[in-house]
Structure formats: structure tokens, C-alpha cells
Structure 1
Amino acid sequence: MPIDAAKALAAEPRSGEIGWTAKDVQLYHLGIGAGSPATDPDELRYTLESRLHVLPSFATVAGAGKPGVISGLSMPGVDVDLARVLHGGQSLRLHRPIPVAGTATATSRIAAVYDKGKAAVLVLRTDVTDADGPLWTNDAQIFVRGEGGWGGGRGPSARREAPTGEPDRTVERQIREDQALLYRLSGDYNPLHADPEFAKRAGFDRPILHGLCTYGMTLKAVVDTLLGGDVGRVRSYTTRFAGVVYPGETLRIRMWQEQGRVRVAVGAADRDDAPVLADTVVEHS
């Protein structure tokens, strides 16, 4: 079996130094659609170095995304075909605001392996600390199609009861035709998002947008719409990737406000709101 759950869970954590600059933050923000209108004061907080703040989802690409999902697939006990891999979900917990520039130590390990029958799920956990202490913790849920069925535990369900009633806010965000090409410059060079032939081998008509790009676009919409543009209010952010998005489409982002959190559902407006992100929650102060 290409995935040896016991070996993967027993493997020593991997640690490495990561670093980022204001330019990395600006590039990430542009990659998730920030900067339009270019002279809007609210957008300049994402693009102009003298006013720059850091959207918390930048944590998924800080240090060029290393360690990341691809790194997790080279852990001991894991040997899979990249074309069978899908990013199933992502959760992020902030311990304090991310500085505009910095260096830190990232420590990653396989925290769990689940048997979903037709697929295996790996949970890649990355803890990041700097000289002042913990910064953030990332959990990436990695689905590997065709690698389940060995009799392991299914793990907890990530599915939540759907929000009821009309959303408090609904916004739409247009995805540029070249959005995936720009976003991948932040470190995720999976050819699924750029190479038409690879995308076809993976079962898609054409390259798809990175799930983490949609993840960042959605958090920006929540921060700008319901949190007064204050990135420091975000405490955690969790989602399940429920469907693909193609460059050129429009995201419809629906938000429900609750005490201390915002629940979110994201669909592809061009395809009758086909689900894109589900079970999505932003916890905030």
C-alpha cells in the first residue's frame, strides 16, 4: 500500500526556517484579487508597503508555502501519484497577528491518517513560531483518491449543519482568467493549476484554481465586509473544499453572522451556485 499509516504517524517532525518580506505579502494579496480599484484606500492596505497589513490566510504560503501539501506527500510512509491528490480542507489558527516581514521555524508532521473507503485522508499539521513565540498552526486535509479501504478509522466528520435563513451579506468576486498563474507565484506550483495536459490526466477539462486561492479570496471578503477591514480580528478560519473553481468564473460568497464567528458558503455563480467552499467558519474577536 502506498500509504503506510503507522509509519507516517510515527515519522519524526520536519523543521525548517522560513522567511517572508513585504513583497511576498503584496504578491499573495494580488494573487487573491486584491488591488481593485487600485487607488481605493481599503485596497491599498493590501498592496502599498507604507500601509500594509497581512491577511491571515497568507500563512498558507509564507516561506513560499514550505512546508506544504506537496512536502507532506514526501513524508515517510507516503508514496502517491500527485494526479490522485486533492486538497480536501484547511484550518488555520492564529496565535497573534502575522508581521509584514519575518523569519520563523515551521515544524510539520502527519497528525492523522483516515480511511474514507475510496480515498485516504492525511492531516498535515504545521506549527510556526518565531523569536516571540507561536504565530500560527495550519492543518491541511489531503485526499488521496484510490488509497483507502485498508480498514483504518474514518476519522471525525468535517461536515456542519448548514446555516439557516437568509445570509446577512452576499458578495460576488470575479476571478481573473490568469488568477491561477499569478497565485502560483506564491509557491504552489502544482501543474494541475497551469498545465492543460496534466489537468486532463487528473480528470479536469482544463486547469483549476487553487483551493487556497479561493480560501484567501473568501477570507478577504469576510474581513472587508463584516470585520471592518481589520485583519487582526481573525482568530481562526476553517473550510472544506467542496468543489472546483475555474479561472474566469465568479464566486458568490454568502455570510451569516453569529456571536464571535461568521459562517460562510461559497458557490460558483456561473454554475447555479455549485458548492465550492462548505463548512466554512471564521472565528473573530
Structure 2
Amino acid sequence: MTSIDLNADLGEGFGRWRLTDDEQLLSVVTSANVACGFHAGDAATMRRVCDLAAARGVRIGAQVSYRDLAGFGRRAMDVPPAELAAEVAYQIGALEVFARAAGAGVAYVKPHGALYHRVVHDEEQAGAVVDGVLLAGSTLPVLGLPGSSFLELAGKAGLPAVTEAFADRAYTAAGTLVPRGRDGAVVSEPDAVVERSLRLARSGTVASHSGEHVEVRARSLCLHGDTPGAVQLAHRVRRSLEESGVRVEAFA
């Protein structure tokens, strides 16, 4: 039986402001990418999400970012590698405190936003993120785009590299994500998201923005929690996957 992990970006709030419906999404996903305070999230939010995730048996992942609260981590930045490695380790360490307090632990690392896109091709920044994971004293799995510099360098450093796909993001013919600033970068039509999820899980392919069939072999499927109707859509995706014979479970 084919199996796939479902992950979502959670804890994307700060103070009284909340963007994602963490409690509801945690009833659907098998892995939670928790914001660690640099693009969103604060101490209370991280603690709350870790408690909820641990209680539901959902794996806790550190979603690390450039230090960019105002831009939600989606603005391009140039950070010296040593500084970036330290900031990645800092974010992992902060989340680990709350994950352990909840009776769990940080199970993997995933870059967010501009950093996620940057490490696809930028070996220096990709290496800095890998160094940050190692600096945190761990050999945690990392999530990233198939064929990216990040996953290649992670594998060479002994970190398990987990490939990831996006049901609600448009792909280029080269298998990279269409930048959010371009028309059609986000797939918002529910039927299309469900169809893409099934195709990615069962055949490892997706239609690109320009119409070509692109191979995207992924062990984890990301569902964004910051879009309208995200919870209902996530339930629909999971139900459709399971009804089609796909087992939904956390990656090993």
C-alpha cells in the first residue's frame, strides 16, 4: 500500500494574533511544522502547539526561518552562513524545550518561506542550514524539495533527507515552486488540490504551471494552514487519500 505523511505549518501566530487553526489541523495531519519565533510564533504559542501535537500523537517539526517577523519570513535576505547556522540551531533548541515538556521531542526540521526557496539552489545557504541542525546536536531528518541542494548536502552530512511536495502550490516545468508573487502560484480550487494530492501520492507526478507533467517523488505532502477553508480542505484531502487506498502516516 502507498503511504504518505501529511504536514502543515502551525503555530503561525504572535501574541493575540493567530493565523492558523492549530487544534483543528492537528486532527488531520501527521506532522506539524511549528514556527519557532523568527517568522511567526512565540514562547506561549510554541508551548501550546507542542502540547496539542503530543497529545494527538502528531510529530513535531521545527520550521526554521530567516529572522523576519514583519515579512513573515517570505522576504529574500542575505545572512552570513555562520550567523544563519547559529540562528537555525537557536530555533531548534527553543522548540525542543517545549516539545520535551510535552513528553515528545523535535522530530525533524523544515525551512520556511524565503529560506526554503533559497536553499533549493544556493549551496552556501543550504550548507548553513545543515550546519545549524548539526550545531543543535542532532542528526534530525530534514524536509525539502526533491533535487534541492539542501537535501543533497543534508544527505552528505548524514541527515535523513525527506522529499516533500505541495498540493496547493504551482510547480514550474523544472520541478520548483512558482514564486508566490506570480499569478497562479497558489492553487486554491478545492477539487484541484484534492486531485493533485491523489496524483502526487499515487504516481509522484503533478501538472506544472505551463502544462507539462513533472515528476515529484515525495514522502511528505504539505497542506498550508493559512488559506481560507484550510481545515475543511485538509479533511477532504486526507479522506480522499484514504478512500483511494493511500495510507496516511508520519514518515519513518
User: The TM-score by the shorter chain falls in which range?
Assistant: under 0.3
Asked which structure has the greater CA Rg, the reply is 1
Q: Considering fraction of residues, name the structure with more helix.
A: 2
- Of the two structures, which has the highest relative contact order with CA contacts closer than 8 Å and spacing of 6 or more? 2
